[in-house]
Structure 1
Amino acid sequence: MSNRNAVPAEKRSRRALIDSLKQDGPQDAASLARRLGVSAMAVRQHLYDLEAEGLVTHEAEARPAGPKKTGRPAKLWALTPAADRFFPDGHADFTVGLINSMKQVFGPEGLDKLLQLRAKEQTASYRARMDKQPSLPKKLQALAEIRTAEGYMAEVQKANGGYLLIENHCPVCSAAAACTGLCNMELEVFRKSLGRGFKVERSDHILAGARRCAYLVTRKD
């Protein structure tokens, strides 16, 4: 009797390919095919699909010194950071546990002081890049680039006489749920980074059930 819950062979091969790249590092398609016991053509199709999803990348294999060789250098495929989601990650539980421990050791006031220090450092770092920009759109774009590098998948859109700074992902959501001061700090950091001439209001909040966090930024009258 067939098992309807069995994982399809194609998905098993795809996962085995990801695991091999994680465990053994960058490899070419031929090496992966030998390891997995499938055809090189099947491996290449998986790799191109994974590349389209942003999960793998490739670079040309460095050729050894010596006589000039003919033919194209092999592509060495490697996982991107986006593939980390396929592997166990205990950082969220660790962070939440650390926050709870800090509450016990330092108390609410002590934790607030730590958050204020972090906010001060973050604001200084953001302003170092944003202050160089000549206009609000460029300042926000610089901020979005910083936040994207930090894992927030940020973007900027025009809206309601101003601009929306949108964060499509929250890499610290578990920590923010355990410590609401993190979200308050984030809002304050944005306000201080932009300066007194601008108003920043949160319009969407992941912790309130929205699919994203969004901030409406307008000029003050």
Structure 2
Amino acid sequence: MAPKFPGAGTFVPPSTDLSALALAARSCRGCDLWEPAEQTVFGAGTASARMMLIGEQPGDQEDRRGQPFVGPAGALLNRALDEADIDRELTYVTNAVKHFKFVRADRGPRRIHKKPLRSEVVACHPWLEAEIRAVDPSVVVLLGATAAQAMMGTAFRIGTDRGRVLELGDAKAVATAHPSAVLRAPDDERAAAFAALVDDLRVAARLLV
């Protein structure tokens, strides 16, 4: 008997055209996250980008709008990129998981982010591999533990390895905190958390020179 959720590999076309990949991803049923989500949120940006940024998964606003990093975390990321002298328009941004995983609040319509399982990250990984093949970036920025472990293995720890230059196939990689972690930081720690994110992005930017 075929598995109910076979993983994304069944749905990924043999193409390096981002438009074709994004279109195919709309019909992905590789795991169970597609059903409660509004839509697939594929990556966005230029196919010639030298830098790719990978986060965990889309959030509530991303799920509703169908674009990655357009909510509060995206706004903070834009500020950090600007301070690091990185033009977001020249990057490609995506997530390790392409559907929003959430639980509903006990009261009201609010949808609360829920961390994806490792099995869900693995199921969605063929889409991320296809994006990397299509873009062929020189530098990959891994935003948060989920993205970092998706690419570097489950033993990878942001706390000890962030900000270092890592080898990722033919590309260089830098891991850092996810912008949402900066937003969740206590008020008296948020400025320092933001500055650390900017510092890590500057490490990645220097790799493009």
Greater share of residues in helix: 1
TM-score by length of 1: 0.26
Higher RCO by CA contacts (8 Å cutoff, separation 6 or greater): 2
